[in-house]
Structure 1
Amino acid sequence: MTAKGMAIGALLLLAGNAFAEDFYIRNATVHTATAQGTLRNADVHVRDGRIVAVGANLAAAGGANVFDAGGKSLTPALFGGITEIGLEEVSGEASTVDSSVTLKDAQPARPEFDATLAYNPDSVLLPVARIEGIGFTLVGANNGGAFVAGQGGVVRLDGSADPIGPRALFVTLGDDAAELSGKSRAAQWMLLEQMVDEARGRIPATSPHALLTPAGRATLAKYLAGNGRIVFSVNRAADIRQLLRWANKQKLRIAIAGGTEAWKLGDELARAQVPVFVDALADLPADFDRIGATLENAARLHAAGVVVGFTQAGDNSHNARKIRQLAGNAVANGLPWEDGLAGLTRVPAQAFGVGDRVGAIAPGKLADLVLWSGDPLDVSSVAEKVWLGGKAIPMRSRQTELRDRYLQGSPSFPRAYSK
């Protein structure tokens, strides 16, 4: 960032801090992501970083600032999906990636590994995501050296250093974990059963065949007792069926990430009350775990009564902004619009234990808000203004700084030499 850009950012932050104390957003189309649904020509009152009231014609207190939304859409700040934001800078440079554990002696499971300990709130990826309306994300452990990868947690992209809410445990099943689990899906269940026996004390810690460290046993025991959600990355319907049976036997709180073929088990997932975070752009049989891929996955799951959220495969940390396209595509293929927005707001917030703070526009929630130029699920719309904790966020990032630098022409030099 240039010195001029940093100075502008500092001034905007100061202005945002002052503005955050007590202000009103007037005349907005407020998509509450609650049972209230969408409120037209509505106002939102924010004080000390939290939402005080939502409704029409709210009486403004003396001295409070007023921002006229001009009828535009106002939503909660969006969920960026399950990402490695703050855990990686350059995905191809190992020294900047902290999302997985790979030890010298192969270990199929290190549940005690907590990736949030490496979270960097000064990562350049944060402003890139938040100026696109992303306010929170679930930073997750990646299965680099263990198919029971470790823990992660929800972070707000406001620059705060610590995650909010409970931790989640991440497990990968199916072909993506084959090399880490004896090259067989059946071996994954065998290993998981042994880990459960160890965590519950049925196998002594001194056993020469133990899979878990003492810390790993204690961590897994916490999740087995229902204290935290286990997120399973899994796509094939047959693997999801086995997961539902196993989770029911162990009485676990689980969620599914990916779930390309989850639509085949919609009724079972609904009965088990398992939220599914789908990649709504997965429409091709990319491998043998995804033969049943369809753009109607989210709509079919919703029709069966499954709670649907969104996450994306691939380079999701650097491209978190594209998660709106996932929700928009799901809506274009049959998911109701309000449920598309809920999948980016209320659903992940509630699933990962932070629904009391983020994910909706309602009294008592943090004032994490986004004003959009148009339909927030349409990629042609942009975030015009973002508030996190009631503070106006400077709409600048490393990318906008580079844009501004290289788009300024010079009469005597090419663009690259303009500054």
Structure 2
Amino acid sequence: MTALTLAPATVAARAANAFPRPRVGRLTRRLGVAVAALAAALAPAVPAMAQSVAITNARVVTLSDAGTLANATVVIEGRRITAVGANVSIPRDATVIDAGGGWVTPGLFAPAGRLGTVEVGAVDGTRDDQVSGEAAGFSAAFKVSYGVNPRATAIPVSRTEGVTRAAVTPVPGDSLFGGQAALIHLRPAADAVFKDSVAMVVSLGEAGARRTGGSRGAAMGALIRALQAADTIGPLDLTQRWDGPIPRADAEALAPVVRGEIPLMVQVHRASDITQTLKLIERFERLRLILHGAAEGWMVADRIVRAGVPVILDPTANLPASFDRLGATQRNAARLIEAGVTVAFVPAGSDSHLPHLIRQSAGNAVANGVAWEEAFKAISLNPARIYGVERELGALDRGKLADVVVWDGDPLEVRTNPTHVFIEGVATPMTSRQMKLHARYSDLDGAPPFAYRRPE
């Protein structure tokens, strides 16, 4: 077996060495380096091979029936976890990583956001997170997965902060429906999507009312008519004209929602709007719901529990940002979890570039009454449960995919950093564009990079 310990300083050193400075006067060599770098940037991402790894001397947060284990070992063979415990056999060919008493957890799972679909928010040409239903002729049929860029600069930023999976949720444009969400992994690869059409996004409440003439009643009525049309749609018959209240493509996309095959993710905040949303289950018996936002969810926690509906929320939201959120409080998450609701956390701020801040949100939730393990479930196991992938992800247990993060301390403390991130057993690069830029320009007293030297 091979011993390996990778300290944060080593990671920083590798980042600092990412941009070697070319020698002046070696034009041919510089051109060769430039061409090689360009070819590497344009070449398809080749996935690294999984290997046998044993992470020893760790505080292991399993989120399984085993609980949290002291001085334990996690064994990875290929893509999966093969052993977790204090006295486990380590394969002879395994690379051994001594955690040095640090923490080992499942990879973080961002439950909603636009990671990989927005490069520059102010530049429309770099945004693939929404569609104009009027211009496209459909909205519910929109699949955000087609626009996910696995090379988006924001992905390595979140990966180096411990995020291994994320749900990409489209934003409603000029229609109630945003479209169909997808799940992505953050491993370097040519395609990041590993599960498509995991939820149908729709906006109600104040935002939905704006899209349907200014009335909440109109928004709910439009949603009900759309679901009814989907419930009655039959096989495509080109000899007959479609006269439904929504485009046929949207009705076909909504049919699996009505059948309960895909959950309806409803963006809603006000308690009364949540109550009306939950009533949809009475009308459409197979309908599955996810509440996204739910700033006033604590007011109707008992109804949410009885309906068996999970909630995705920002646990730090405590300001009346709109009349939908007059009851916002940082105790929202604690009250919902105490009532028995399955809760997952999103970060405050940008959901396209900062999904890694979910662990800071989880830490704030702990400060406001959420138990530590429940807070960590909200950024790992619970998102996996919400999207039906908990058999493979969200916990450290034998047989699960090896999304594993090694930390140098408590992961819910903002000063803690990951030292190793494994996604499906593959050790991922601990660098990002920001790290490389920092390494390039942090030495202001030294010689500047070649391109920034003044001609003599």
Question: What TM-score, normalized by structure 2, do the two folds share?
Answer: 0.84
Is 1:134 the counterpart of 2:186? The answer is no
Structure 2 counterpart of 1:347, from 359, 382, 388: 382
Q: State the shift of 1:131 in Å.
A: 0.1
1:240 to 259, 274, 285: 274
Residue 232 of structure 2 corresponds to: 201
In the TM superposition, residue 356 of structure 1 has moved relative to its aligned partner by 2.1
Residue 254 of structure 1 aligns with an amino acid whose one-letter code is L
Amino acid in structure 2 at the alignment position of 1:73: W
Q: Which amino acid aligns with 1:42?
A: A
Deviations 1:281-314 (A, max 9, x none): 1011111000001010010001111111111354
Is 2:19–2:440's contact at 8 Å kept on the other side of the alignment?
no
Q: 2:258 aligns with which of 207, 224, 234?
A: 224
1:166: Cα distance to partner?
Answer: 5.1
State the one-letter code of the partner of 2:313.
V
Question: Residue 35 of structure 1: CA displacement?
Answer: 2.5
> Is the contact between residue 55 and residue 96 of structure 2 (CA under 8 Å) also seen in structure 1?
yes
* Letter aligned with residue 159 of structure 2: R
Is contact 2:316–2:348 with CA below 8 Å preserved after alignment? no
* Equivalent residue letter for 2:184: V
Contact 1:258 1:311 in 2 (8 A): no
Partner of 1:83: 113
Structure 1 residue 197, shift from structure 2 partner = 2.1
Which residue matches 1:170? Answer: 201
**Is 1:37 matched up with 2:57?**
no
CA distance in 2, matches of 1:146, 1:188: 10
Report the AA paired with residue 86 of structure 1.
G
Question: Contact 1:258/1:313 (CA < 8 Å) preserved in 2?
Answer: no
Deviation of the 1:159 alpha carbon = 2.9
Separation in 2 of the partners of 1:226 and 1:112?
Answer: 17
The match for 1:184 is 215
Contact 1:257 1:311 in 2 (8 A): no
Report percent identity of matched pairs: 38
Aligned mates of 2:145, 2:446 — CA distance in 1: 49
In the alignment, does 2:373 pair up with 1:363? no
- Contact kept, 8 Å, 2:233 with 2:251, in 1: the verdict is no
Cα distance in 1, alignment partners of residues 266 and 432 from structure 2: 33
Aligned-pair distance for 1:211?
3.1
Residue type of the alignment partner of 2:119: E
Paired position in structure 2 for 1:50: 80
TM-aligned CA distance change 1:110 to 1:391, over 3 Å:
same
Distance in 2, matches of 1:230 and 1:64, equals 44
Please tell me whether residue 391 in structure 1 is matched to residue 426 in structure 2: yes
Query: How many Å separate the matches in 2 of 1:213 and 1:156?
Result: 32
Match of 1:13 in 2: none
Distance, in Å, in 1 between the alignment partners of 2:92 and 2:272 is 62
**CA 1:106–1:69: 2 relative to 1, 3 Å:** closer
Evaluate the alpha carbon distance shift between residue 21 and residue 295 of structure 1 in structure 2; reply closer, same or farther with a 3 A threshold.
same
2:11 maps to what in 1?
none
Question: Which residue of 165, 179, 202 maps to 1:150?
Answer: 179
Summarize the Cα distance change of 1:313–1:151 in structure 2 as closer, same or farther, 3 Å threshold: farther
The 2-side partners of 1:198 and 1:239 are apart by: 23
Report how far residue 152 of structure 1 moved: 1.2
CA contact (8 A) 1:325 1:377 kept: yes
Offset of residue 70 of structure 1: 1.3
CA contact (8 A) 1:110 1:212 kept: no
Unaligned 5+ segments in structure 1 are 11-15
Supply the distance in 2 between the matched residues of 1:70 and 1:411 (Cα, whole angstroms): 35
CA separation of 1:21 and 1:411: change in aligned 2, threshold 3 A: closer
For the residue of structure 2 that corresponds to 1:150, the secondary structure is strand
Q: Distance in 1 between matches of 2:258 and 2:453?
A: 59
Q: Using the alignment, how far apart are the partners of 2:260 and 2:421 within structure 1?
A: 35
Counterpart-to-counterpart distance in 2, 1:69 and 1:411: 35
The 8 Å contact of residues 408 and 418 in structure 2, kept in 1 or not, is answered as yes
Q: What runs of 5+ residues in structure 2 fail to find an aligned partner? A: 1-14, 22-35, 41-46
Query: How many Å apart are 1:213 and its aligned residue?
Result: 2.1
1:268 aligns with 2:297: no
1-side partners of 2:404 and 2:297: how far apart?
32
Question: Which aligned runs of 4 or more in structure 1 are off by greater than 6 angstroms?
Answer: 202-205
Deviations 1:313-345 (A, max 9, x none): 541121112111111111111111100000001
Aligned-residue offset at 1:3: 4.9
Equivalent residue runs for 1:249-398 within 5 Å: 249-251=283-285, 252-398=287-433
Q: Which structure's CA Rg is the greater one?
A: 2
Task: Give a deviation string over 1:131-188, Cα, whole Å, max 9, x none.
Answer: 0001111001111222111101111111341522352110111112222112111101
Letter in 2 for 1:221: A
TM-score, normalized by length of structure 1? 0.91
Secondary structure of 1:339's match? Answer: helix
